[in-house]
A and B are shown apart, each in its own frame.
Chain A
């Protein structure tokens, strides 16, 4: 708490984020935890120079995906990479209602609340968000994070230590239908369904609690 007083100009949204995550009472009971499956579409893979185009997120609670608790934020672009338009289809001046990066990040952090982040290759998405936070002189995210790739490695019987699974591969393994690939919310939903299926499987051999799940993230652990 002392840090708050040192940094004088902590924006309200960030202060809220830190307080909520640090003080959350929900993490002990799996049924009460709000997970948020996220996916970002970006202009490219360079943390320094590329930017987030869109963040999609949908909440999961008590093994249910709550469609009413979803968000899809499009971001106005200063930097633009023509090449990736082919993949995500988000043009610089498309029809979607767009926010500037600051508005978008604040909106996302507010939405995130004290939820646990679930993503596929979480490191990438979280890093992109952290870069955006950095430009607002805050960050990094303190939310707990899970990665469907690592949860799979924990469940899979064979030694897959070095293998990195793509979202497509996991969809194949877990029999998840792929709709709306390469839209942020579409991928977030696929990730959410994947997460439901994984936790159902995980539960068979392990008690389902957050600490154990977080421990599957050996690469993400700080």
Chain B
């Protein structure tokens, strides 16, 4: 039957996540079962430690504040706005409310029965992903330490619903264990182990594991002369083996390994040592499963044999980023780690490519990262921007040498593309003959850009002047950098032109619900956080660094250096650095949430606190742009 009210609620809900993901039929059912509730300003919706209601809430009109008492001290957690969802987690976790909620102004809520929503969570993996992400983002607010840990535990609880995350729970083990029969000689067993590059071999009889030989057994029993290599493996094997059933979790495996003081677990069909062997789990596997630790990832990169493996590792690095952001690890540290990983991947791709060509480079060269990778600010997968410089060579060898590096660059960019770094649409890559040139050519190029700053050259200098050495010869790189600073010193007018371009991206000021958003196209209703907020700060840092001859690329480091060089503007630069950190974190978490490069922020996804946070970043942008305008007299430069 027609129901004008539920149609209207449907129209409202479908604008907001996660309801925009579910089908119309499902959403209509939700809309038909909504309860509309009205709260006066300051009226309590639920209190901390209350039993969970049967409904969770989405704000139709007004706003709601969430707060929490920690040792009798009230902490504001968040202010939710129209379309925001709250009070859901306790219903899923079946626990009492961890925080209180009150109407911040006159508020109308849509209360949605959790009973309906359970099915939605089960049927729409994207909905549960959204919920995990939104639960996690709550940690950005000043929660107590105690609560933080709890929240994290809860995330894994909800992961049971989301099968995409279940592998985190169960340990990965080798499903093709290498075995030998009991009457194999120790020597043969060792040959098999060496051939397969493994540190253990399982002794089986009719596929049932009866013992194991590890490097340690060889060391303590053969190396010491107790047994000979002609002995049978059955003489020296360690027995019985520690066994476990197939669905072993990381936690269980850890406990078993600690308890039995072994380094290997045999996974058998029914979990006893009387049944068929199906796999082997080593301590190393366990570390890798849990271990998205940066040093392990770097180690994995070094051991990677192909680009697909690098891609897999880079995906793990994304998970790592997500984890860091959830745990509120400072963004500066996160960018450092991720940059290290990206650098390691690029280095590995270069090494792989050189060995594929089968010839060492004819002369020395450096591989340079440009743009955000050059500034070490790349947290997400973005386009690749890179270039190559090689030693000056005579005209006779030039073509042959250049062709070698072009071939190399093409192989490297192909690999990076497989890893997930898209090709640069503007073809600013070392595989482009224009950007794979000698030191001398680069120096001439830079000079041409600086002395004749026409718009397209200015744009190139913006990208290229943030270059960073990734691989190869350091002298070439240093010489390139020196030539830039020397030429700029002689041509200060260049900075005015650069300043002018820098000011082309004014910050959005004074928005609230009328957020400055893109007017059309695919990204309608999104805020271009990259162009409108991050880039102005990056550009300002660059021009001031060039002005002061500061040889750092990273924007945060640039502002920190600027604070030293210009103590009178310390506050300004500090605010810029802070704004930059916030924006970068914002972009990254947005990007991770939407699985894209985070360039556009969907304003419908933002709660009020996020909007305020973003807004606070715009003031430093305005201030630093004013400073640039004054210093570089950009107003004297005609419109270019």
Contact = CB atoms under 8 A, between A and B. Distances in A.
Contact of A72 (B2, B37, B43, B106): B2
A196 B2 CA distance: 24
Nearest to A198: B38
A25 to B, nearest CB: 23
Given A67-B31, A97-B1, A179 B38 contact: no
A192 B36 contact: yes
Given A177-B61, A196-B38, A67 B5 contact: yes
Nearest to B31: A67
Given A66-B35, A72-B1, 14 more contacts: A56-B4, A65-B37, A67-B35, A68-B33, A70-B5, A70-B6, A96-B2, A180-B4, A180-B8, A189-B8, A193-B108, A196-B38, A197-B106, A200-B43
Given A97-B1, A183-B4, A185-B3, A65 B35 contact: yes
Interface of B: 1-6, 8-9, 31-38, 40, 43, 61, 106, 108, 111
Interface in A177-201: 177, 179-180, 183-186, 189, 192-193, 196-197, 200-201
A175 B111 CA distance: 20
B376 to A, nearest CB: 49
A67 B31 CA distance: 8
Given A177-B61, A196-B38, A197-B38, A67 B1 contact: no
Given A175-B106, A177-B61, A193-B108, A65 B36 contact: yes
B53 to A, nearest CB: 11
Contacts of A112: none
A129 interface: no
Nearest to B12: A179
A185 B38 contact: no
Nearest to B61: A177
A58 interface: yes
A30 to B, nearest CB: 15
Contacts of A70: 3, 5-6
B108 A179 contact: no
Contacts of B108: 193
A58 B5 CA distance: 9
A207 to B, nearest CB: 17
Contact of A200 (B1, B2, B31, B38): B38
Interface string A44-86: 0000000000001010000111111011101000000000000
A67 B2 contact: no
Contacts of A183: 4
A128 B31 CA distance: 31
A67 B34 contact: yes
Given A68-B33, A72-B1, A63 B6 contact: no
Contacts of A58: 5
Contacts of A56: 4
A180 B9 CA distance: 12
B5 A64 contact: no
Nearest to A188: B5
Contacts of A71: 1
A56 B3 CA distance: 9
A220 B533 CA distance: 62
A64 B4 contact: no
Contacts of B8: 179-180, 186, 189
29 contacts: A56-B4, A58-B5, A63-B37, A64-B36, A64-B37, A65-B35, A65-B36, A65-B37, A67-B5, A67-B9, A67-B32, A67-B33, A67-B35, A67-B36, A70-B5, A72-B4, A175-B106, A180-B4, A185-B3, A185-B5, A186-B4, A186-B8, A189-B4, A189-B8, A196-B36, A196-B37, A200-B38, A200-B40, A201-B40
Contact of A189 (B2, B5, B35, B111): B5
B8 to A, nearest CB: 6
B34 to A, nearest CB: 5
A43 B43 CA distance: 42
A154 to B, nearest CB: 18
Given A179-B8, A193-B38, A200-B38, A64 B111 contact: yes
Determine which residue in A67, A96, A196, A200 has the highest number of CB atoms from chain B within 10 A of its CB, and name it.
Answer: A67
A99 to B, nearest CB: 11
A68 B61 contact: no
B35 A64 contact: yes
B5 A63 contact: no
Contacts of B32: 67-68
B36 A72 contact: no
Contacts of A201: 40
Contacts of B40: 200-201
Nearest to B36: A65
